[in-house]
Amino acid sequence: EDEVRPMYEWLDRPRPPSLGPKQKQLDFWASPRFTRKTYGIAVWQTQQIIREPNTRIIIDGQERQSAGDTVKLMREWLELPELVRLFGRFQCDDWGKFEFTVAQRDRALRDPTVRALGLDNSEQGKRCDIRWWDDLIGKSNNNPEGILKVEQHISAGMPIIKPGGRGLYSCTRWNALDPSTEGFTISGNMGILRHVKETGRWFAPPPRGWFGCYAQVGDEIFYPHAKTGELLYPSVLSEDVLEGERAIMTHGEFASQYKNDPLSNLERPFHDDDIQYFDPVVDGERNPMLIGAIPYVAVDPASCRLKTATKDDSTFCKAYIKWQENMFHVFVTDWIGGRWETSRVYDTIFLLNDNPP
């Protein structure tokens, strides 16, 4: 309950006052696999149906079948004797596998109460009050083509939500450049988490907008039981479970599916604070910080396309990379700019490589 209730309460919060009456409320939720996010959101959506039987909900999955499984779960909840005794019989003639309509509806509406769609299903003529995109990125479409398709699907689906309605994107983050990114997606569009931080078009829970299997600083704002460095979802993701999964996964897979951070320390690009510029020789001796580091020489391939220098492009970089304190550190020792003919490019690479500090 401590792990699911905060999500439910966040979803059930009052409408943000910054939104106008016709603006759509767009919410983002990201947490690791098996943390019951689909279950928790389905509970909240079922509650919305009980409160307002005229609500129209579309649930999007990567495949229609996965969304249909959630529809089936919600349909079964509404058939529970306890709910029928309190609110009456929900079931009516339109009680299908991929959509259903509750008997309590008192308005003539063309769309069902709940409808399941997949990425390949037509949206033409459909309307909803709440649209839920659930785990649209996964192992099979975690690639540029798949991500672009999901982006287009979300964009095309926005007009289907009625003015003043609500959209919800829930996921485990599989790719650093997918629609949930804190930067820009593979296609160059602004990611959801960047919108959260910069435009306010999307909303996400504090403090970062997403959660991993281990609590991080600030998670106690949202989860009262959170303690930095300890398990955030111990009832479903114990240390034994995580160790078992870590043993059969690559670093990137585990970072994505359980830490909910698709750029693991072993595979992420370098951050500004990873890079240090310093003298490779101190008091005539090699800088001790380079002990255990691996030397690399990098060159911009475009530097050999012009025979005359046009500007300083900082073409060559010699650096030592060292794994330290659970992250990469880059120590830059040489940085030479310019544009040269191909032969001089090769000569410069060999010169830097043959003269370590």
φ/ψ region of 254 (left if φ > 0, alpha if ψ in -120 to 50, else beta) reads alpha
pLDDT, tens digit, 9 for 90 and up, residues 28-59: 999 999 999 999 999 999 999 999 999 999 99
Note the pLDDT of residue 83: 95
Q: How confident is the model at residue 186 (pLDDT cuts 50, 70, 90)?
A: confident
> For the segment 103-145, what is each residue's pLDDT rounded down to a tens digit?
999 999 999 999 999 999 988 899 999 999 999 999 889 888 9
Residue 303 has pLDDT above 80, yes or no: no
DSSP letter for 356, please.
-
pLDDT recorded at residue 352 = 58
Output the pLDDT for position 296. Answer: 66
> How confident is the model at residue 261, as a pLDDT?
84
71 exposure class (CB count in 10 Å sphere: 0-12, 13-18, 19+) = buried
Q: Which tokens sit at 234?
A: 């111990």
**For residues 199 and 187, what is the distance between their CA atoms, to the nearest angstrom?**
19
Among candidate residues 37, 20, 21, the one with its CA nearest the CA of residue 29: 37
Average pLDDT, the chain: 84
pLDDT in tens, 53-109: 999 999 999 999 999 999 999 999 999 999 999 999 999 988 999 999 999 999 999
Q: Which residue has the higher pLDDT, 23 or 144?
A: 23
* Residue-level pLDDT at 177: 84
pLDDT of 182 strictly over 90:
no
pLDDT of residue 347: 62
Q: Span 185-205, mean pLDDT?
A: 91
Q: pLDDT at residue 338 above 90?
A: no
Question: Which percentage of the chain shows pLDDT scores above 70?
Answer: 75
Looking at per-residue pLDDT, the higher value among 294 and 165 belongs to 165
Q: Given a cut of 80, is residue 288 above it in pLDDT?
A: no
Residue 300: pLDDT over 70 = no
- H/E element holding 79? none
Sheet holding 294-299, edge to edge: 275-277, 327-336, 316-324, 294-299
What string of DSSP letters covers 202-265? EE--TTTS---SB--TTGGGT-TT--TTSBSSTTTS-HHHHHHHHHTS-HHHHHHHTSS-SS-T
Q: Do the Cβ atoms of 135 and 171 come closer than 8 Å?
A: yes
Task: Note the pLDDT of residue 73.
Answer: 96
Q: What is the pTM of this model?
A: 0.75
Predicted confidence at residue 256, as pLDDT, reads 87
Q: Which residues pair with 316 in a beta bridge?
A: 299, 336
